[in-house]
Amino acid sequence: MARSRLTIPKSGNVTLDLDGREVRLTNLDKLFWPAEKISKADLIQYYADVAPVLLPHIRDRAMVMKRYPHGAGGEFFFMKRAPVPRPEWIRTCSIEHESGNIIDFPVIDDVPSLLWVINLGCIDLNQWYATCDDVDRPDYVHFDLDPGDGATWERVLECGRIVHDALDALEMPSLVKTTGSRGLHVYVPIVRGPVQKEVWTFAKALAVELAARNPALMTSEYKVAKRPKGRVLIDYNQNAWGRTLASIYSVRPKPRAPVSTPVTWQEVKAGVEIEDFRIDNVARRIAKRGDLWAPLLSQRGRVDLGALLSSTATRKTPARRRSTR
């Protein structure tokens, strides 16, 4: 039987009992998008509505919190360590950093923990690339297509098609979503095995190659000052250790509250727009289309990147020269 819709009160402070867990929600009538009259309650309601398709994509992963205490137009700050005090049922994922510090990140496994983190002022969600049982072995590789100064949205779409064709040629099935901001995110589900640095190395090699083949359209130059104008950055560096991107179905702190939404490659070809997907219509799209990114969760059809890296290394290894001494 389908679970009845959870309705979030529109104002005040409330405590909800969800599966025996008390979740306190505060300042629900606060406007997070004043121009559009979108409140904190509306934001929490959206996440409650999309939770069935969102949670499988972020479950069992450390969450980097990006908090907007004054709404989408206000200042924000990043917070990695789960705040104290916090509900005893909030699970954490301990990750050791290069400094030797161990940080206990919150983990969003269920509706109570999801609503708890959104109530802290998190508008978008930024999860770790690997699950907590092995935080250095991602299960996807991805590319962030980010337009630079003077680069149009049409150029972003063209870049997306080029990346898609290149991945198809490598027999790497890919999924695409709008960022909800300015660009596209392209993901490839991989078999866990290669460590983060190896995944980053592959992404860099492909990005540099594609940028070299399409210099009038793309760049892989990470330093902003060195990027040519009017190009789309094919950003491989978001695969580096500790980097995160806004998750699938994340609301973004932009006008009209756009959402990072899965689309089909046919929609990319047809000229989909960022503004097509917003907090007010994405739940209906999901009800109609389902989760277009379900393949990212499947154990079938994942790319064995480790085997690809090994074969590439073998092809690049020069034959030994016979000594003349």
| Alpha carbon separation from 39 to 77, 87, 217, 248 (Å, rounded) | 20, 24, 39, 21
Cα–Cα distance for residue pair 81/58, rounded to 1 Å: 17
Residue spans of the domains in the chain: they are 14-127, 140-315
Q: Which residues pair with 185 in a beta bridge?
A: 144, 177
For residue 318, pLDDT beyond 70? no
pLDDT tens for each residue of 177-233: 999 999 999 999 999 999 999 999 999 999 999 999 999 999 999 888 889 999 999
For residue 235, pLDDT beyond 80? yes
Does 194 sit behind a cis peptide bond, omega within 30 degrees of 0 on the bond before it?
A: no
The matching CATH number, chosen from 3.90.920.10, 3.40.640.10, 1.10.1740.10, 3.10.450.30, for 14-127 is 3.90.920.10
Percent of the chain topping pLDDT 90: 89
Name which of 90, 256, 56, 277 is nearest 176 in CA terms.
Answer: 277
pLDDT tens for each residue of 7-42: 999 999 999 999 899 999 999 999 999 999 999 999
Query: What phi and psi, each to the nearest 5 degrees, are found at residue 198?
Result: -70, -40
Per-residue tokens: 166: 């290149």
pLDDT score at 324: 28
Name which of 61, 63, 235, 205 is nearest 139 in CA terms.
Answer: 61
Name which of 190, 183, 232 is nearest 211 in CA terms.
Answer: 232
pLDDT tens for each residue of 70-119: 999 999 999 999 999 999 999 999 999 878 899 999 999 999 999 999 99
pLDDT score at 264: 98
The matching CATH number, chosen from 3.30.70.3300, 3.30.70.120, 3.40.50.880, 3.40.50.720, for 140-315 is 3.30.70.3300
Opening angle at CA 68, ends 63 and 69, nearest 5 = 115
